[in-house]
Amino acid sequence: GESVGLHLPTLSVQEGDNSIINCAYSNSASDYFIWYKQESGKGPQFIIDIRSNMDKRQGQRVTVLLNKTVKHLSLQIAATQPGDSAVYFCAENSNRDDKIIFGKGTRLHILP
């Protein structure tokens, strides 16, 4: 499959452990944030989103935390599985802007 990013930061996690992927966003006016997962050979897949009026949102095995004070977003994956191996992107948008800005991504590597 395609190599999404040859020089992406990589997070290696033992199977079964929790993963925490971090993202610093750039625009203090951003009020909508999204996490995407991109597996080799596929396009990005929506995981979870959060609006700026929330600090935390939970999905199935995933939790997104938003800290607006330091412009930081994190994605927590519980009980990491081999199928979670992928590149994870955060993205931000402001209501004043028509475009979504994507981060460079973090590669999650699962250790057996």
Partner 1 sequence: KAGVTQTPRYLIKTRGQQVTLSCSPISGHRSVSWYQQTPGQGLQFLFEYFSETQRNKGNFPGRFSGRQFSNSRSEMNVSTLELGDSALYLCASSLAGYTQETQYFGPGTRLLVL
Contact residues for partner 1, defined by CB under 8 A: 2-7, 32, 36, 41-46, 49, 51, 89, 93, 95, 97-100, 102-105
Tell me the closest approach of the beta carbon of residue 16 to partner 1, in angstroms: 29
Nearer to partner 1, 50 or 110 (CB): 50
Phi, psi of 4 (to 5 degrees): -70, -40
Q: Give the separation between CA 90 and CA 9, rounded to whole angstroms.
A: 13
Nearer to partner 1, 99 or 112 (CB): 99
Tell me the closest approach of the beta carbon of residue 17 to partner 1, in angstroms: 27
Tell me the closest approach of the beta carbon of residue 74 to partner 1, in angstroms: 19
Nearer to partner 1, 7 or 28 (CB): 7
